[in-house]
A and B are shown apart, each in its own frame.
Chain A
């Protein structure tokens, strides 16, 4: 299961990143708060498979499918 599959108002812990993800993107996501073991919460889903609203630690991000589906979680 990935962040993209999180229903609204549910959380999960980041398990790992897609193996094909470029190293610099992984670093950036880490720096933005998406670290392995970190709890992430889906605050909102938008219509027509639009971006999700994800809360990570002290920040809220909007993340589109391309990124969200590359971050695996354990719920």
Chain B
């Protein structure tokens, strides 16, 4: 199939144009280790490939190197029929700097070019219009004035695009008077002559920025937005997650119910459907978070939010855009790691992704709740306003955050030494405010779910399967005499310095599947039915069993730091591509957790 290559500067309405051209018939190609995505979809008899938005053909970051190499490859390919250069009509000069470079490169490769002058709806609202014919003449390639949002001029454009792509030799790049000039000079000259005046465009943006970036109101709006985002993943995604879990559980029960009781039925129900549920349950959170971040990004607010939190986070080797992933990580590390994709600097993205697992995610809550209830008396101070247990809870969350910032700082120094400092400086365009369109948001949200299943699903499923086998055999479902229990006893000496016996060791090992199973497993060990719902019985048992304060603190510290979550490791592996980082950080946090627990235990006992 002949290809149409779509290029353009960031924030130029390019992805909306792509979505309008291709609709549902699209798929995303990811490159391991970077967030570069090549989206492609069919448009009539052609394939449209959407390249990541870039300001320049000279790459600075590792992401840009890959994107630009792919562009060169596409230009060399004989299947490439046409280069479609998208221009932002409200920012003609900036769009042309890149577009003219791309046009020159296409000409070198003997490829034809067509320009779209996008976002014309805004331009018309400002009371301006372009002389498209004159612009075509001066650019030496056909130009079409469109709005991908209001569909202004789209039908004429799509008809023309099909014609051009079928006979590209007819729209070869023409020599113009500007060919002698550098892209920078040519862009300036064309924009001065044809472009809309910047005062018209920037007036509204400046007014809104005066409010949204105001030290007082801006702060309030920022906190309110982040509160909304946090709510959405913490509480609003929960019904969807419960529904997913119940759905998988229901189907599992139904299928295994049709089988005779025994190993096969248990295997189908607990291992197969349990393993499926283990990763499907994350999808609602991932999609809800992607949708909200997409809304913030497409409206233009995300860049402002990044500006607001850039300074404090930069002290720890992070970017202003690390804030949202960090916040989301308090609900769950998986969507947070995927949200870190919006961090433009590959190096800061790496530091952010690697420190996200240290945030106290919601799976740690049952573990904290159990251990705090066992260790800390339910005392209240200041007329009942301050509870001792609540204060300890706060310290646990705070401990995770502080550890993350310190590790971030260390990683920043270490990466600086270890790898060449190949990174983008902090200079970020504050795009014009726009009302987001549903199409790109819809596909972005859908693709985030698909990407997670593809990248992390197989690993999570396999590990669930292995752990099920270890916990089930040899005595069909008796955890206390299973292979896993034997392993627990085997590793007991390792955990002995933390004051932990084999029962807790088994609970820790099983926590690698998901931390919240800690409570259920201990319930099984202490023969308490439904320990998750009825924690007080387990609390009494553990207190009676001689569970010391020092052991409890050691265990808490271990759960704050250790990366006990196969889904997180799998997601990191999928996003970073390099195994040494994901498994390396898994080992490193394990050792750090062990060390801190050991020190606390020794000090307290």
Residues of A within 8 A of B (CB): 24-25, 27-33, 35, 43-44, 46-51, 53, 55, 57-64, 66-67
When each residue 85-102 of chain B gets 1 if its CB lies under 8 Å from chain A and 0 otherwise, what string results? 000001111100110000
Closest to A30 in B: B184
Q: A50 to B306, alpha carbons, bound, how many Å?
A: 11
Count of interface residues, chain B, beta-carbon cutoff 8 Å: 37
Chain B residues whose CB sits within 8 angstroms of the CB of A67 once the complex forms: 425-427
Chain A residues whose CB sits within 8 angstroms of the CB of B202 once the complex forms: 55, 58, 60
Contact B307 A50 (CB under 8 A): yes
9 contacts between A and B (CB under 8 A): A27-B58, A31-B56, A53-B213, A53-B307, A57-B198, A58-B94, A60-B206, A60-B429, A61-B428
Contact of A61 among B92, B306, B430 (CB under 8 A): B430
Q: Which of B60-119 contact A (CB under 8 A)?
A: 60, 90-94, 97-98
Contact B427 A46 (CB under 8 A): no
Chain B residues whose CB sits within 8 angstroms of the CB of A62 once the complex forms: 303, 306-307, 310, 426-428, 430
Chain A residues whose CB sits within 8 angstroms of the CB of B310 once the complex forms: 50-51, 62, 64
Contact of B93 among A28, A57, A60, A66 (CB under 8 A): A57
Contact A25 B308 (CB under 8 A): no
Q: A51 to B313, alpha carbons, bound, how many Å?
A: 12
At the interface, yes or no: B201 with Cβ under 8 Å from chain A?
yes
Chain A residues whose CB sits within 8 angstroms of the CB of B311 once the complex forms: 46-51
At the interface, yes or no: B209 with Cβ under 8 Å from chain A?
yes
Contact B307 A51 (CB under 8 A): yes
Chain B residues whose CB sits within 8 angstroms of the CB of A66 once the complex forms: 425-426
Q: A7 to B480, alpha carbons, bound, how many Å?
A: 70
Sorted from nearest, which 10 A-B pairs have the closest CB atoms?
A: A50-B311, A64-B426, A62-B307, A58-B198, A60-B430, A58-B91, A67-B425, A31-B56, A63-B427, A62-B428
Q: Which of B486-502 contact A (CB under 8 A)?
A: none
Chain A residues whose CB sits within 8 angstroms of the CB of B60 once the complex forms: 24-25, 28
Interface of B is mostly: helix
Q: Separation in Å of the A56 CB from the closest CB of chain B?
A: 9
When each residue 108-139 of chain B gets 1 if its CB lies under 8 Å from chain A and 0 otherwise, what string results? 00000000000000000000000000000000
Q: A64 to B318, alpha carbons, bound, how many Å?
A: 13
Contact A28 B428 (CB under 8 A): no
Q: Separation in Å of the A72 CB from the closest CB of chain B?
A: 16
Number of residue pairs A-B, CB distance < 8 angstroms: 100
When each residue 34-48 of chain B gets 1 if its CB lies under 8 Å from chain A and 0 otherwise, what string results? 000000000000000
Contact A58 B90 (CB under 8 A): yes
Asked whether A64 and B430 contact (CB < 8 A) given A28-B55, A46-B213, A58-B93, the answer is no
Q: A71 to B93, alpha carbons, bound, how many Å?
A: 21
Q: A4 to B555, alpha carbons, bound, how many Å?
A: 49
At the interface, yes or no: B235 with Cβ under 8 Å from chain A?
no
Contact B206 A43 (CB under 8 A): yes
Contact B94 A57 (CB under 8 A): yes
Q: A48 to B308, alpha carbons, bound, how many Å?
A: 11
Contact A59 B91 (CB under 8 A): yes
Q: A43 to B429, alpha carbons, bound, how many Å?
A: 13
Q: A48 to B55, alpha carbons, bound, how many Å?
A: 30
Q: A65 to B472, alpha carbons, bound, how many Å?
A: 59
Q: Separation in Å of the B208 CB from the closest CB of chain A?
A: 11
Q: A46 to B212, alpha carbons, bound, how many Å?
A: 12
Contact B425 A27 (CB under 8 A): no
Chain A residues whose CB sits within 8 angstroms of the CB of B213 once the complex forms: 44, 46, 53
Closest to A66 in B: B425
Contact A47 B215 (CB under 8 A): yes
Contact B430 A53 (CB under 8 A): yes
Contact A32 B427 (CB under 8 A): yes
Closest to B185 in A: A35
**Most B C-beta atoms less than 10 A away, residue of A30, A53, A57:** A57
Q: A46 to B428, alpha carbons, bound, how many Å?
A: 15
Contact B425 A25 (CB under 8 A): yes
Q: Which of B402-451 contact A (CB under 8 A)?
A: 425-430
Q: Separation in Å of the A16 CB from the closest CB of chain B?
A: 16
Contact B427 A29 (CB under 8 A): yes
Chain A residues whose CB sits within 8 angstroms of the CB of B426 once the complex forms: 51, 62-64, 66-67
At the interface, yes or no: B534 with Cβ under 8 Å from chain A?
no
Q: Separation in Å of the A12 CB from the closest CB of chain B?
A: 17
Contact B97 A31 (CB under 8 A): yes
Contact B307 A33 (CB under 8 A): no
At the interface, yes or no: B314 with Cβ under 8 Å from chain A?
yes
Q: A27 to B59, alpha carbons, bound, how many Å?
A: 10
Q: A60 to B94, alpha carbons, bound, how many Å?
A: 11
Chain A residues whose CB sits within 8 angstroms of the CB of B90 once the complex forms: 58
**Most B C-beta atoms less than 10 A away, residue of A32, A43, A59, A63:** A59
Q: Separation in Å of the A11 CB from the closest CB of chain B?
A: 13
At the interface, yes or no: B481 with Cβ under 8 Å from chain A?
no
At the interface, yes or no: B231 with Cβ under 8 Å from chain A?
no
Q: Separation in Å of the B211 CB from the closest CB of chain A?
A: 12
Contact A58 B92 (CB under 8 A): yes
Contact A46 B91 (CB under 8 A): no
At the interface, yes or no: B205 with Cβ under 8 Å from chain A?
yes
Contacts A29-B427, A44-B213, A67-B427 known; list 9 others, CB within 8 Å: A25-B60, A27-B56, A31-B98, A47-B311, A57-B93, A59-B91, A62-B426, A64-B427, A67-B425
